[in-house]
Amino acid sequence: MKNSQPIIFTKEFTRQEAIPEEGIQRAVELMRSGRLHRYNTTAGEESEAALLETEFAAYVGTKYCLSCASCGSSIYLALKSAGVKPGDKVLCNAYTLAPVPGAIENAGGRTVLVEITEDYTIDLDDLDQKAGKSGAGYLLLSHMRGHITNMDRVVEICDRHGLVLIEDCAHTMGARWDNRPSGTFGKIGCYSTQTYKHMNSGEGGLLVTNDEAVIAQAILFSGSYMLYERHLSRPTTDVFEKYKKITPNFSMRMDNLRAAMLRPQLRDIETQCRRWNERYDLLEEALNKIDHIAVPKRDPREAYVGSSIQFTIDGITRQQVMAFLAECGRRGVEIKWFGWAEPNGFTSSFDSWEYIENLPELPATRKILDFMCDFRIPLTFSMKDCKTIALIIKSVVEDMT
Ligand SMILES: *Cc1c(COP(=O)(O)O)cnc(C)c1O
C-alpha cells in the first residue's frame, strides 16, 4: 500500500439527512400561522408537541411521554421528578457524554462514577459494589453509543439495593434488550432528538414513564404553567393538584416547530434503524478482519441501533494510537477518541469532569478508553462509503505495524 496513491474519503461525518418533506411542509405552515408555542392552540386544537408525545409513548409502549428542550434537560427533569434532593448520590457509568453528569450535578445530585468493561458497558460488579458502599438511591444508566448491558442484571441489582433506575437512551431510540424497548426497564427513559441522534430536530428531548406522579411533576417542572390539561399524554388533573403549587417552573418545553419535524421521522424510525444496522454490520465485519482491531461481540439479546461504531485497537502504544488517528484524519476518516488528555470537540472523558466531588480514578475505564476508537455512521454514507472507510483504516493500520 505504501507507494500507491492513498485513498481519501471526502464525505462529512457530520452530514445528516434532510428533514422529511412532510415535516418541512408542516413546519412552514406553523411558521405562517405563528403558532409555535405548544400552548398556543385554538379551542379543541391538539398541538404538534402534544401529538408527538402520544405517538412516542405508543411507540415505546409507555403510558406517558413529555417532550423537552433537550435530552440533557429531560434527564434533569427525570432526576427531579424521581425525587433527587441536593446531596443525593446518583450512580452513573463513567463512559458517557458530558450532559449526563451535568444533569446530575444540575439537579443537586452527587455523581458516583462506575467503571466500564471491555464491551464499553457499565461494569455490573463495580455497580453492585458501589451501590452498596455509596448509599446512592439512583442509577442513571447511560446506554452510551448504543451499547446495552445485561438489563436483567441491572434490574436485579437495582431491586436489591433499592435504586431508582433512569435510562439515558440518547443512542438507543429504536433499540431493545430481549425484545423490550430501551428506556422501559426503570422508572424513566430519556431520549435525544438533537441533530446527531436518531431523530433530528436540532435540539430536543423526550421523557417516558408509566408513573403518573413522575409525569405530572415532569410536566409542571418543564414549564406547563397551569396549562397541563392541554397535554394528551397525562394522568387525570387531580394528580396535578397535589404538585402544582410546590413544583418550580424550569421552562424546558419543546415547541411545535420541532415536534412537527419529528412526527414524520418517528413514522420512519424502524426503517432508519435498519439502514444504520446494514452499515454497522458491514463495518463491523470489515473492521474485525483487520489485525489489531476488534469490535466487541454483542449479546444476542441486544437489538442495537448502529448509528456509530466503536472498536478497540491493541498491540500498539498510546503514542501510536495518536498517530493512527492523525493519519486516518488526513485520509478523511474522522475518528473520535476519549484518550485525549484535554477535552476535545464533543468528546470529554470522565477525568476532566473536575466538578464531581471526589472524582475517582477509574483505571479500568481509563485503559479501555485509551484504546477505543469511535466514529459516527451518518445515513448520508452509502454502503460503498462504509467499505471505503474500512479500507482506509486497514491501510493505515498496515502501514503502521
Ligand atoms: C447527546 C447525548 C445526551 C444529551 O443529549 P442532548 O439532547 O444534546 O442534551 C445524553 N447522553 C448521551 C449518551 C448523548 O450522546
Identify the structural domains of the chain with CATH numbers, from first to last. Answer: 21-267 (3.40.640.10), 269-400 (3.90.1150.10)
Residue 401's pLDDT is 80
Residue 390's pLDDT is 98
Secondary structure (DSSP) of 33-63: HT--STT---TTPPPHHHHHHHHHHHHHT-S
Nearest to residue 86, comparing CAs of 100, 59, 105? 105
Q: Pick the atom of ligand 1 nearest to 197's CA.
A: 1
Q: Pick the atom of ligand 1 nearest to 193's CA.
A: 7
Residue 2's pLDDT is 52
Q: Pick the atom of ligand 1 nearest to 205's CA.
A: 7
Whole-number Å distance, alpha carbon 192 to ligand 1 midpoint, is 6
Whole-number Å distance, alpha carbon 71 to ligand 1 midpoint, is 6
Whole-number Å distance, alpha carbon 365 to ligand 1 midpoint, is 20
Ranges assigned E (strand) in 30-173: 64-68, 89-93, 110-114, 138-142, 164-168
Packing angle, helices 48-60 and 256-267, rounded to 10: 30
Whole-number Å distance, alpha carbon 392 to ligand 1 midpoint, is 29
Shortest-distance Cα residue to atom 1 of ligand 1: 170
Residues of the chain with pLDDT under 50: 1
Nearest to residue 82, comparing CAs of 6, 29, 158? 158
Whole-number Å distance, alpha carbon 2 to ligand 1 midpoint, is 40
Contact 74, 190 (CB under 8 A): yes
Using a 6 Å cutoff on CB, does residue 72 contact ligand 1?
yes
Using a 6 Å cutoff on CB, does residue 99 contact ligand 1?
yes
Residue 5's pLDDT is 83
Read off the pLDDT of residues 41-71 as tens digits, 9 standing for 90 and up: 998 899 999 999 999 999 999 999 999 999 9
Using a 6 Å cutoff on CB, does residue 145 contact ligand 1?
no
Whole-number Å distance, alpha carbon 89 to ligand 1 midpoint, is 21
Residue 223's pLDDT is 98
Quote the CA–CA distance of 286 and 266 in Å, as a whole number.
Answer: 31
DSSP H helical ranges for 314-362: 318-330
Read off the pLDDT of residues 237-273 as tens digits, 9 standing for 90 and up: 999 999 999 999 999 999 999 999 999 999 999 999 9
Residue 347's pLDDT is 80
- Residues present in the chain in total: 401
